[in-house]
């Protein structure tokens, strides 16, 4: 089955994308901010930090986004393909799209900035920098954003190759500041004159900023220095001021609207506020979440936006610098110099809320809801401080490497290893708190393993009683943890402690997994699968290993012969295959050592044991020599090998022979220069810092070992060719009396007796043959709980624990595996980035896909409303496969237009009629009547209209839960909202006495719209023989009906006295109670 031809699923992205790659833009009043995310523009409310609108009309990534100077309702953006898009951001519609008229179609737009210039259009012109190809000079021009035409300018500025950093002054002083490398350009875009300056000590410029109220600009470099430039009209009057606090490069600058203050940020994660009049006065906001990328100040100086590198935006107050709100997108740890992966724990699923859990910012775990496409929260797991980056040092932070989840517990493993001191390893158990709606630390274990963790897993995801947790460490030890009573006098309750530990032959641990019921623990040691009793894991119950060759590591040969002759098969081929099969059977059945040795020589290959062909005649050797030397597809080494096979020797000129001999001596025979260089490197290791010395020593030892292997193999091949070139000692020419060499130049030496020694193939050059290493172990679930899937380097093996036999095998090189307990589906990602989905009982692929992006992890997300279809028809009917890619995005496979949030229940609208059981709750006096009914529920019987319904789906809750900034106009929803609260009631029931009518009867009385009983007639009975009790009952009923009619006959538009209404309600309730008694 060809899955590629029938595959209709598309790779779609659920979350990801950087919102801090570009600086945000404030609205004129500062109430909204516009954030670029690839090709989308997200509009956020600054007061709450919630998204209000998404503008997704761009077809390519946006490189610029600004508000028009004269029309603040227009948002102008430019894409990398040269499209100018104008939005009315208040209405959320595109007004116009204008393509730029570029000189070449292959031109790439680098920057686009609006300038305070209007020529022939209703919007401002833009200053654009472009480049045709990589490595070419940067060009610039001014365009009309209304028409896309270029405006002719006369400027002698010539830019260099690097991508420029540009900022534009849009106020009274119309200047453009550009930076390329360590050069700074100030361009007046009215006269198009410019000045060029060079940075101090030729330090590259990292960011530039222009003040909007005066002729002041600021630049920053990689050394952490900030220069404030003034009066840059010409080189004579210019002046600059040095501001230096940062010890690493400055990443962002921002002027206040008045130009009095300057904000700066860098890798120290500290926001610095400078007073330009008195630079010694500084204010600091330390411990920002990550490296500061952008700083934007609103026009009213009330808000300051700080974009950090962990994909978060923090809104600060302009006066007190307090954090008002935070916009959190899909967060991740920043790049560092350690080379460690950003997501070491991969992708996990929290079974309590079905949220995705993965590494977030340094020392945190982020919980992301795929149903609502929102970040729930970041949980700080590591309790230590986060060290900031340094310029010339590698800084290590504590990293969360493993995590496991239960419905009530979470286990995390963190490691701090600076490659200099002993590694710090901690195991923490967290308990979910219903009050805080988050996890709280329960138990912390110091140094549970040496070196770090291999895996952490719970015995059951949904079980709380008799819960176990197993951890595997780098020390090849497995420990089982359980819950016990706390022995601390400061905290009573439960705690986790180690119940048992075990190891097996000190073999390396690949993976661990509990069975579905938690009774068995499977561990992969090398190529051995060990099964333990989870209650007492001292000794393994069973150990399973594959025969050689099945695990895919030991080399083997496959020969398939048809049982019956096929149509069209050539007879000679069938005979050759049969002879080969007979030869193999003879080899297998015989114990002849000589025959086995010959077979091994054949496996080694002809080049190792090549024999010299029959000696040719002297006349034909010259033709052979010329023919071989004219073959351009062969190298020198290959040509010499052929000459050696034919027994041809040749001599070369003296000068060339010396050069060739010197080259071979240096490169292969005696690499003295290389050995001398390695000795020098080894002697210089003591100069390095101890933090880097171990890593450098390890790399140098690996290099020395590879060089030694090369020296053991290559010289044998090269030395054997010396006889062909007559460079060995036996073919050295004799010296004459003057000490000069005598030899014939360019002359073939025909020798009838060629004695060439056959080289012996070295042992190190044979193919590596070892044992398979188990990387993943996974139990089945339900009816397939007796099956265990084991993944090695090139195989997926399915073991049956009932028969202790190998049931099936797949030829897959698995890198990542995810198991779905709902459907028993296993999804694996191979080393070739291929996806295979199958069940362990039937290892046939349900789905295959190739050319997937590199992934960090996989997880199955259960659907909120599963589809009623078979997994053979839709393998994602019960759960959706989620992938975490190397581009820091969460992806999934679905049909076009579908997402994991599409199976949510339909929201209740105002136009839907209110549920009959919840009508009385929202009546005029429904709340008071409900309270009174709850008080007297011991002796009052139930009545139909007083049934309490589901409040979470009511119209009032839906109306209250709407966000104010996303609510439509009140005139559009008021009518439907009032209609949803109306209670249908027939007013003629009060005057109807027909016995055949269907009315609500409760204890012989009819219930009216307010839930009060009344009789079948308003007239008093004519029977004069009634006793006093009956007369009293009738009087009470009559009074009750009169009070009720007064309430119903009140005009709806008249203003009512709340106190009077309450008093009447109390009277009605008291009369009703008296009537009941």
Could you tell me if 980 and 910 are in contact, meaning their C-beta atoms sit under 8 angstroms apart? yes
Alpha-carbon gap, residue 109 to 484, rounded angstroms = 65
**DSSP assigned state of 666:** I
pLDDT of residue 368: 92
pLDDT of residue 904: 59
Least confident of 426-430, 454-458, 745-749, 780-784: 745-749
> How many CA atoms are closer than 13 Å to the CA of 775, on its beta-carbon side?
19
% the chain with pLDDT above 90: 36
Least confident of 103-112, 411-420, 894-903: 894-903
The CA–CA distances, whole Å, from 743 to 205, 708, 740, 747 equal 66, 36, 10, 9
The per-residue pLDDT for range 813-835, each reduced to its tens digit, is 999 999 999 999 999 999 989 99
Query: Cα torsion for 46, 49, 55, 58, to the nearest 10°?
Result: 100
The per-residue pLDDT for range 940-980, each reduced to its tens digit, is 333 333 323 334 445 666 666 666 656 666 666 777 677 76
The per-residue pLDDT for range 472-527, each reduced to its tens digit, is 999 999 999 999 998 877 778 899 999 999 999 889 999 999 999 999 999 999 88
pLDDT tier at 345, thresholds 50, 70, 90: very high
Is the model's pLDDT at 1037 over the cut of 80?
no
Is the model's pLDDT at 333 over the cut of 60?
yes
Instruction: Write the Ramachandran bin of 1039: left for phi over 0, alpha for psi from -120 to 50, otherwise beta.
Output: alpha
Q: What are phi and psi of 277, to 5 degrees?
A: -70, -35
Burial grade of 430 (CB within 10 A; 0-12, 13-18, 19 or more): buried
pLDDT of residue 1016: 40
State the helix-helix crossing angle for 1058-1076 and 1028-1048, rounded to 10 degrees: 150
Cβ atoms within 10 A of the Cβ of 373, count? 14
Is the model's pLDDT at 1048 over the cut of 60?
no
3-state secondary structure of 849: strand
The per-residue pLDDT for range 62-121, each reduced to its tens digit, is 999 999 988 889 999 999 888 999 999 988 899 999 999 887 777 889 999 999 888 877
Alpha-carbon gap, residue 524 to 530, rounded angstroms = 6
Is the model's pLDDT at 229 over the cut of 50?
yes
Could you tell me if 985 and 945 are in contact, meaning their C-beta atoms sit under 8 angstroms apart? no
State the helix-helix crossing angle for 1058-1076 and 926-935, rounded to 10 degrees: 30
Is the model's pLDDT at 662 over the cut of 80?
no
- Identify the CA nearest to 76 among candidates 138, 121, 136, 137: 121
Least confident of 154-158, 739-743, 799-803, 1027-1031: 739-743
The mean pLDDT of the chain is 78
Alpha-carbon gap, residue 787 to 515, rounded angstroms = 10
The CA–CA distances, whole Å, from 361 to 309, 343, 425, 854 equal 9, 10, 19, 21
Is the model's pLDDT at 753 over the cut of 70?
no
pLDDT of residue 764: 40
DSSP symbols for 455-520: EEEES-SS--TT-EEEEEETTS-EEEEEEEE---SS--SEEEEEEEEE-STTPPEEEEEE-TTS-E
Say which residue, 296 or 717, is predicted with more confidence. Answer: 296
pLDDT tier at 292, thresholds 50, 70, 90: very high
% the chain with pLDDT above 70: 70
When pLDDT is averaged across residues 988-1006 and rounded to a whole number, the result is 39
Give how far the C-alpha of residue 80 lies from the chain's centroid of Cα atoms, to the nearest Å: 25
When pLDDT is averaged across residues 427-445 and rounded to a whole number, the result is 94
Say which residue, 628 or 290, is predicted with more confidence. Answer: 290
Choose from 150-159, 243-252, 486-495, 688-697 the range with maximum mean pLDDT. Answer: 243-252
Alpha-carbon gap, residue 172 to 479, rounded angstroms = 71
Q: Does the predicted TM-score (pTM) go above 0.85? A: no
pLDDT tier at 123, thresholds 50, 70, 90: confident
Is the model's pLDDT at 669 over the cut of 60?
no
- Identify the CA nearest to 354 among candidates 865, 811, 784, 772: 865
When pLDDT is averaged across residues 871-889 and rounded to a whole number, the result is 91
- Identify the CA nearest to 413 among candidates 439, 386, 382, 392: 382
Least confident of 235-244, 495-504, 596-605, 784-793: 596-605
Alpha-carbon gap, residue 294 to 251, rounded angstroms = 7
Is the model's pLDDT at 363 over the cut of 70?
yes
pLDDT of residue 553: 59
pLDDT of residue 999: 37
The per-residue pLDDT for range 1-34, each reduced to its tens digit, is 455 556 789 999 888 888 898 999 999 988 999 9
Is the model's pLDDT at 694 over the cut of 60?
yes
H runs (alpha helix) in 869-994: 926-935, 955-960, 970-981
pLDDT tier at 901, thresholds 50, 70, 90: low
pLDDT tier at 1017, thresholds 50, 70, 90: very low
Look-up of token digits 């992708």:
347
Alpha-carbon gap, residue 833 to 885, rounded angstroms = 11
When pLDDT is averaged across residues 727-748 and rounded to a whole number, the result is 39
pLDDT of residue 733: 40
pLDDT of residue 233: 80
Q: Which residues contact 224 (CB under 8 A, 6 or more apart)?
A: 244, 245, 246, 247, 248, 249, 250, 266
When pLDDT is averaged across residues 594-599 and rounded to a whole number, the result is 66
When pLDDT is averaged across residues 991-999 and rounded to a whole number, the result is 40
When pLDDT is averaged across residues 1054-1075 and rounded to a whole number, the result is 62
pLDDT of residue 562: 61
Could you tell me if 130 and 140 are in contact, meaning their C-beta atoms sit under 8 angstroms apart? yes
Give how far the C-alpha of residue 79 lies from the chain's centroid of Cα atoms, to the nearest Å: 25
pLDDT tier at 1004, thresholds 50, 70, 90: very low
Six token digits for residue 387: 């060290």
pLDDT of residue 920: 43
When pLDDT is averaged across residues 1027-1033 and rounded to a whole number, the result is 58
DSSP symbols for 15-76: EE--SSSS--EE-TTSSEEEEEETTEEEEEETTT--EEEEE---SS-EEEEEE-SS-TTEEE
Could you tell me if 307 and 254 are in contact, meaning their C-beta atoms sit under 8 angstroms apart? no
When pLDDT is averaged across residues 579-600 and rounded to a whole number, the result is 69
State the helix-helix crossing angle for 636-645 and 618-629, rounded to 10 degrees: 160
Is the model's pLDDT at 184 over the cut of 70?
yes
The CA–CA distances, whole Å, from 327 to 34, 46, 355, 530, 1016 equal 12, 9, 19, 48, 64
pLDDT of residue 958: 65
Q: What is the CA radius of gyration of the chain?
A: 41
Q: What are phi and psi of 658, to 5 degrees?
A: -65, -40
């Amino acid at each position: 089955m060809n899955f590629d031809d029938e595959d209709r699923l598309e790779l779609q992205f659920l979350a990801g994308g950087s919102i801090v790659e570009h600086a945000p833009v404030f609205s004129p009043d500062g109430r909204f901010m516009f954030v670029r995310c690839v090709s989308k523009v997200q509009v956020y409310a600054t007061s709450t930090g919630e998204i209000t609108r998404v503008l997704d009309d761009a077809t390519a990534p946006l490189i610029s986004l600004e508000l028009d100077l004269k029309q603040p309702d227009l948002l102008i953006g430019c894409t990398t393909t040269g499209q100018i898009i104008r939005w009315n951001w208040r209405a959320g519609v595109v007004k116009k799209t204008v393509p730029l008229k570029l000189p070449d179609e292959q031109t790439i737009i680098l920057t686009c900035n609006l300038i305070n210039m209007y020529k022939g259009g209703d919007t401002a012109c833009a200053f654009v920098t472009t480049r045709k190809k990589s490595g070419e000079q940067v060009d610039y021009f001014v365009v009309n954003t209304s028409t896309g035409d270029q405006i002719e300018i006369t400027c002698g500025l010539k830019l260099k190759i690097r991508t420029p950093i540009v900022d534009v002054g849009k106020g009274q002083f119309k200047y453009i500041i550009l930076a390329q490398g360590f050069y700074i350009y100030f361009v007046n875009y009215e006269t198009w004159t410019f000045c060029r300056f060079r940075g101090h000590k030729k330090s590259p410029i990292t960011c530039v900023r222009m003040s909007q109220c005066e002729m002041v600009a600021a630049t920053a470099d990689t050394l952490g220095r900030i220069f404030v430039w003034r009066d840059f009209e010409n080189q004579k009057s210019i002046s600059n001021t040095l501001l230096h606090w940062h010890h690493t490069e400055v990443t962002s600058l921002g002027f206040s609207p008045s130009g009095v203050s300057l904000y700066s940020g860098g890798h120290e994660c500290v926001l610095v506020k400078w007073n330009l009049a008195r630079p010694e006065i500084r204010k600091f906001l330390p411990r920002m979440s990550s490296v500061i990328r952008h700083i934007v100040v609103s026009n009213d100086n009330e808000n300051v936006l700080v974009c950090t590198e962990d994909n978060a935006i923090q809104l600060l107050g302009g006066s007190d610098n307090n954090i008002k709100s935070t916009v959190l997108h899909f967060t991740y740890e920043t790049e560092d110099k350690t080379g460690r992966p950003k997501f070491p724990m991969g992708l996990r699923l929290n079974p309590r809320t079905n949220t995705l859990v993965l590494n977030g910012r340094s020392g945190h775990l982020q919980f992301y809801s795929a149903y609502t496409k929102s970040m729930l929260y970041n949980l700080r797991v590591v309790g230590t401080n986060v060290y900031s980056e340094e310029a010339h040092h590698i800084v290590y932070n504590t990293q969360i490497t493993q995590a496991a989840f239960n419905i009530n517990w979470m286990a995390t493993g963190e490691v701090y290893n600076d490659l200099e001191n002993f590694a710090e390893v901690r195991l923490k158990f967290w308990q979910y708190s219903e009050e805080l709606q988050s996890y709280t630390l329960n138990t912390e274990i110091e140094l549970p393993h040496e070196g770090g963790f291999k895996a952490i897993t719970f015995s059951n995801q949904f079980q709380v009683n008799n819960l176990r947790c197993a951890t595997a460490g780098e020390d090849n030890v497995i420990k089982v943890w359980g819950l016990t009573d706390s022995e601390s006098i400061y905290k009573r309750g439960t705690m986790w402690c180690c119940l048992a530990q075990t190891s097996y032959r000190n073999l390396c641990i690949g993976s661990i997994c509990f069975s579905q019921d938690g009774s068995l623990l499977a561990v992969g040691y090398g190529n051995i699968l060990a099964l333990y009793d989870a209650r007492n894991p001292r000794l393994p119950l069973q150990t399973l290993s594959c025969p050689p060759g099945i695990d895919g590591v030991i080399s083997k040969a496959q020969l398939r012969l048809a049982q019956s002759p096929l149509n069209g098969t050539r007879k000679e081929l069938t005979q050759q295959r049969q002879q080969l099969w007979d030869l193999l059977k003879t080899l297998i059945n015989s114990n002849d050592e000589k025959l086995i040795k010959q077979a091994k020589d054949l496996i080694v290959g002809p080049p190792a044991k090549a024999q010299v062909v029959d000696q040719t005649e002297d006349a034909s050797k010259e033709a052979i020599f010329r023919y071989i030397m004219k073959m351009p597809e062969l190298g020198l080494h290959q040509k010499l090998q052929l000459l050696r096979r034919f027994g041809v020797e040749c001599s070369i000129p003296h000068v060339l022979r010396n050069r060739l001999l010197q080259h071979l001596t240096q490169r292969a025979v005696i690499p003295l220069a290389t050995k001398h260089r390695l000795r020098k490197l080894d002697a210089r290791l003591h100069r390095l810092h101890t933090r880097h010395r171990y890593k450098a020593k390890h790399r140098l030892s690996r290099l020395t070992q590879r060089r030694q292997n090369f020296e053991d193999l290559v010289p044998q091949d090269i030395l054997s060719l010396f006889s062909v070139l007559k460079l060995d000692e036996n073919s050295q020419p004799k010296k004459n009396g003057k000490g000069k060499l005598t030899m014939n130049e360019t002359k073939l030496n025909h020798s009838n007796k060629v004695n060439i020694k056959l080289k012996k193939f070295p042992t190190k050059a044979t193919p590596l043959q070892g044992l398979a290493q188990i990387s993943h172990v996974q139990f089945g679930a339900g009816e397939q709980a007796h099956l265990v899937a084991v993944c090695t380097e090139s195989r997926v093996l399915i073991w049956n624990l009932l028969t202790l036999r190998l049931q099936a095998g797949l030829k897959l090189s698995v890198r990542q595996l995810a198991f779905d307990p709902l459907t028993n589906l296993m999804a694996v990602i191979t080393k070739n980035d291929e996806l295979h989905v199958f069940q362990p009982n039937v290892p046939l692929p349900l789905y295959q896909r190739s050319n997937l992006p590199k992934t960090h992890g996989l997880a199955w997300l259960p659907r909120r409303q599963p589809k009623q279809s078979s997994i053979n028809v839709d393998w994602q009917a019960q759960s959706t496969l989620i992938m975490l890619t190397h581009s820091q995005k969460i992806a999934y496979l679905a049909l076009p237009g579908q997402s994991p949030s599409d199976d949510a229940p339909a929201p209740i609208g105002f136009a839907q009629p209110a549920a009959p059981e919840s009508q009385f709750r929202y009546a005029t006096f429904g709340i008071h009547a409900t309270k009174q009914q709850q008080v007297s529920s011991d002796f009052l019987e139930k009545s139909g209209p007083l049934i309490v319904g589901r409040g979470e789906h009511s119209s009032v809750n839906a109306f209250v839960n709407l966000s104010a900034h996303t609510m439509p106009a009140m005139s559009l929803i008021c009518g439907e909202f009032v209609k949803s609260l109306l209670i249908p009631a027939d007013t003629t029931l009060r005057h109807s006495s027909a016995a055949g009518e269907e009315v609500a009867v409760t204890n012989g009385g009819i219930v009216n719209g307010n839930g009060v009983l009344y009789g079948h007639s308003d007239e008093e009975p004519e029977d004069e023989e009634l006793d006093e009790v009956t007369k009293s009952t009738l009087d009470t009923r009559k009074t009750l009906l009169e009070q009720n009619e007064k309430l119903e006959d009140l005009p709806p538009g008249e203003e009512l006295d709340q106190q009077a209404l309450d008093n009447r309600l109390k009277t009605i309730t008291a009369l009703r109670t008296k009537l009941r008694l």
